[in-house]
Structure 1
Amino acid sequence: MYKRLISVLVAIGIGASSTAFADEGFDKYVEGLKVEAKQNGISDEILASAFDGITFTERAVKADKNQPERKLTLDEYIPRAVPDWKVKQANELYQQHKTTLEAIGNKYGVQPRFIVALWGVESNFGRLMGNYNVIEALSTLAYEGRREAFFRKQVMAALQILDEGHITAKEMKGSWAGAMGQPQFMPTSFLTFAVDGNNDGRVDIWKTKADVFASAANYLSKSGWDDTYTWGRQVSIPTLSKDLKGVQLEKAKSLQEWQALGVRKLNGDALPNVDIDAWLIQPDDQKGRAYLIYGNYQTLLKWNRSHYFALAVSHLADRIK
C-alpha cells in the first residue's frame, strides 16, 4: 500500500518531494529484491553490478499505463505494420542469412520465413530493441505494484541470466516492460526458450543472429508449431448466410465444413481440399476482415496474445519469397 501511494503521488506530480519519497521507498524495495535473489543463489558480484545506480524510472510506469486513444482497424493497421519497405528488407535479409535460417528451420521444424517475419515485427530486424536498463525497468514496475508478482518474477529471471554469464548488466537493454533483444523475449521466456545457435557457450539474443533465429524457432517449436502447414488465410464470407448466423467463430471446423457454409478464398476460389482444422475469426467486428486460421496461428498467439501482432507476422511471412 505504501509503495502504491508513492507511485500515485509521483504519477500525479505532487512536487519534487514526492519524487524523493518515491526514491526512498524504491531503494528499500530494491534491498528486498536483493535479499530474495541472494536466497535464490545469485552471487554478490552479480547483485552489485545489476543494481548499481538504478533508480525509480517513472517513464516506464507511464509507458505501462499508456493506452492508444483510437484502435486502428486491420485495414488501417496491416499496411502500417507490413509496409513495402519492410517486405523488401525481409526478403533481402532472408537471402543474406539463408544458410543459417534454413539450417535452423530444418532443426526446429519451422519455416524460415516465419522466423524472419517475427524478427521484423518484434524489433524491425534488430534495430529497435529498446534502450531501458532491464533490471531498472523491471524493478520499477514490480515496485509500482499493479502487476508486482509478474514483474518481480521477471527481475529474478533477469538476474539468473546475468548470473549464467550470457550478458553483462550494462549490456542488458530492452523495452520499458523488460522485453529483451532482437526477439523481444521477457526474461522468463529467455530462460525457457532462448538457445545457443552458434555453439559458443553463450545465448546472445542482442547481437548474435544465429542465437536470435534459433531462439525464435525453438519458441515456436516448443509451443506446437507444425511446418507441414502455414498459418491460415484471409477469406470472404457470405454476409447474408443463415447457416453462418450463430456460428461460434472460434470453434474449429474442417476446411470442407467451412466450404459448405459458403466460406471462400479471398478471390472467390474454393478452399484447399486439405484435412485440417480451422477457426474463423473477425478480430475487428462482423464487417471487418475475416480469416480462417490454423494451429500455427494459435502458436503465434502464445508468443503475443494480440490478433494484430499475429496477423502482422503472418502477412509479412506470406510476402517473403
Structure 2
Amino acid sequence: MRKQWLVGLVALGIGISSPMASADEGFDDYIIGLKQEARSKGIDDSILEEAFAGVQFIERAVTADKNQPEKKLTLDEYLPKAVPQWKIDQANRYYRQHKQALERIGRQYGVQPRFIVALWGVESNFGKLTGSYNVIEALSTLAYEGRREAFFRDQVMAALTILQQGHIHAAEMKGSWAGAMGQPQFMPTSYLTFAVDGNGDGKADIWKSEPDVFASAANYLSKSGWNDTYTWGRQVTIPDSLSDSLKGVELQKGKTLSEWQALGVRRLNGAALPKVDIQAWLVQPDDNHGRAYLVYGNYQTLLKWNRSHYFALAVSTLADSIR
C-alpha cells in the first residue's frame, strides 16, 4: 500500500523532499493492489488490462483537488455567472429540441422536464464540458494520493464494474479530474445507483446519449425524493427581527407556509405567501443581508445531488427560466 511504501523509505533512511516529488514512484505498485482488489470483486483480467493500460500518476489532478477556488462570491455575483442569458436561451432551445423525449421521461419518473434540462445545463453546459480525463487514471491517482483514499478507491471499483457491465469502453470513459463522468457528471457509484437506459439500446450511456442523460438525471431525482406536484421554492423577504436559529435545511426547522407567513415572511414583491399546505425551510446562504429563500422538499433533493446552496439555486434559477 502507498503508506507502507513511504514508511519503508523512511526506515531505509531515504530522504523524501516532498510527497508530490516522489508520489508517482510507488504508483505502479499501488495499481497492482487495485487490480488485486478488483479481481477479488469479480472483475475480469481483460477489463483490467484495458482499463489500466498506460495509466500514469496525474499530478495536475492532485493539484486541482488541493487548489479548488477559495474565493466565495455572493449570490448576487454568482448567479449571473452561473445562469447568464446565453445559457437561458440555450436551455429553452434544447428544451424545445428534445421536448418529446423530455416529456416522456418526465412522465415516467415524475420529474418536470425543465429541471432535467437545468441540471444538464449547470453540470456540463448541455454536454459540451464533460471533462477529458481518463476516469480510471484520475480516480487511481486521487486514491493513491491518500487524503480521501477510501472514497476514491471505491470509485475505482465502481468504474471498473461499469466497464465489466459493458456500458462503455475504457478508452471512452472520460470525465473531470475528480472522476465525475459524462453529461450529468455522475461519480461512478452514482452511475451504478442511478444511471438508466433512456433510449432502449440496453446501455446507460451518459456520455453520448441525450435520452440516457435525461432518464438518468430524472431517475436520480425520483429515487432521491422528488415530487413533481411542487416546484423548488421562491425568493422571499424576511423581517429583520427573524431569529437566525430558524434558518437552515435541517428537518426540524421546516414549517408550513402559513407558519412562515405568521413570522413575517413574504414573497419578494411583498405579497402574502401561497395558501398551500407544504413544508418549507428558510435559507440565507450568504449572510443576514443576502438573498433569502423559502425552499421545499425538491430543493432538499437537489442538495442530495450536490451539497451546495449555490448549485441548487443555479439549477432552480435556470429551471424557472425555461418556458
SS in 2 for 1:162: helix
User: Mapping of 1:101-250 within 5 angstroms?
Assistant: 101-239=102-240, 241=241, 244-250=242-248
Aligned residues: 310
Distance in 2 (CA, whole Å) between partners of 1:230 and 1:94 is 18
1:313 alignment counterpart? 315
Q: Does 1:9 align with 2:7?
A: no
* Paired letter, 2:156: V
Q: Which residue in the other structure is 1:270 paired with?
A: 272
SS state of the match for residue 170, structure 1?
Answer: helix
CA contact (8 A) 1:117 1:313 kept: yes
SS at match of 2:71: coil
Q: Say whether residues 1:283 and 2:276 are aligned partners.
A: no
**CA-CA distance at 1:221 after TM superposition:** 0.1
Query: SS in structure 1 opposite 2:246?
Result: coil
1:103-150 per-position Cα deviation (integer Å, ceiling 9, x unaligned)? 000000000000000000000000000000000000000000000000
CA distance in 2, matches of 1:160, 1:69: 34
Change in Cα spacing, 1:246 to 1:152, as seen in structure 2 (3 Å) is closer
Please tell me whether the aligned partners of residues 61 and 138 of structure 2 are also in contact (alpha carbons under 8 angstroms).
Answer: yes
CA distance in 2 between counterparts of 1:52 and 1:192 reads 27
Q: Quick one: which amino acid aligns to residue 171 of structure 2? A: K
SS in 1 for 2:26: helix
Alpha-carbon RMSD: 1.5
Partners of 1:134 and 1:119 in 2: CA distance:
20
Q: Which amino acid aligns with 2:246?
A: Q
CA distance in 2, matches of 1:76, 1:8: 41
CA–CA separation in structure 1 for the residues paired with 2:5 and 2:300: 38
Runs of 4+ in 1 over 4 A off after TM superposition: 2-8
Contact 2:23/2:145 (<8 A) preserved: no
Contact 1:3–1:145 (CA under 8 A) maintained in structure 2: no
Q: What CA distance in whole angstroms lies between the structure 2 residues aligned with 1:232 and 1:211? A: 28
Instruction: Label 1:159 to 1:64 Cα distance change in 2 as closer, same or farther (>3 A).
Output: same
Aligned to 1:62: 63
After TM superposition, the structure 1 stretch with the greater mean CA deviation from structure 2, 90-99 or 21-30, is: 21-30
- 2:302 is matched by which residue type in structure 1? L
The separation in 2 between residues aligned to 1:145 and 1:59, in whole angstroms, is 15
Q: For residues 290 and 68 of structure 1, what CA distance do their matches in structure 2 show? A: 24
Cα distance change on mapping 1:204 and 1:3 into 2, 3 Å: farther
Q: Could you tell me whether the CA contact under 8 Å between 1:194 and 1:216 is conserved in 2?
A: yes
3-state SS of 2:32 partner: helix
Q: Distance in 1 between matches of 2:123 and 2:196?
A: 18
Contact preservation (8 Å) 1:197, 1:214: yes
CA contact (8 A) 1:57 1:136 kept: yes
8 Å CA contact retained: 1:197, 1:212: yes
Deviation (angstroms), 1:2:
5.0
CA distance in 2, matches of 1:203, 1:104: 14
- For 1:266 and 1:4, the matched residues in 2 are separated by 58
Letter in 2 for 1:287: H
2:142/2:148 contact within 8 Å kept: yes
Structure 1 unaligned regions, length at least 5: 12-17
Q: Secondary structure at the match of 2:179?
A: coil
Q: Which residue of the partner structure matches residue 13 of structure 2?
A: none
Cα pair 1:3 1:22 within 8 Å, conserved: no
Identity of aligned residues (%): 74
Shift in Å, 1:68? 1.8
Deviations 1:148-204 (A, max 9, x none): 000000000000000111000000000000000000000000000000001101110
After superposition, what is the alpha-carbon deviation per residue over 1:25-75, rounded to whole angstroms, capped at 9, x for unaligned? 000000000000011111111000000001000000011111324200000
Distance 1:94 1:10 in 2: 48
How much has 1:254 moved relative to structure 2?
0.6
Aligned to 2:12: none
Q: TM-score, normalised to structure 2's length?
A: 0.93
Question: Which whole-Å deviations, capped at 9, do the CAs of 1:248-284 have from their partners, x for residues lacking one?
Answer: 2121111011111111111111110000010001011
Alpha-carbon distance in structure 2 between the residues aligned to 1:296 and 1:168: 35
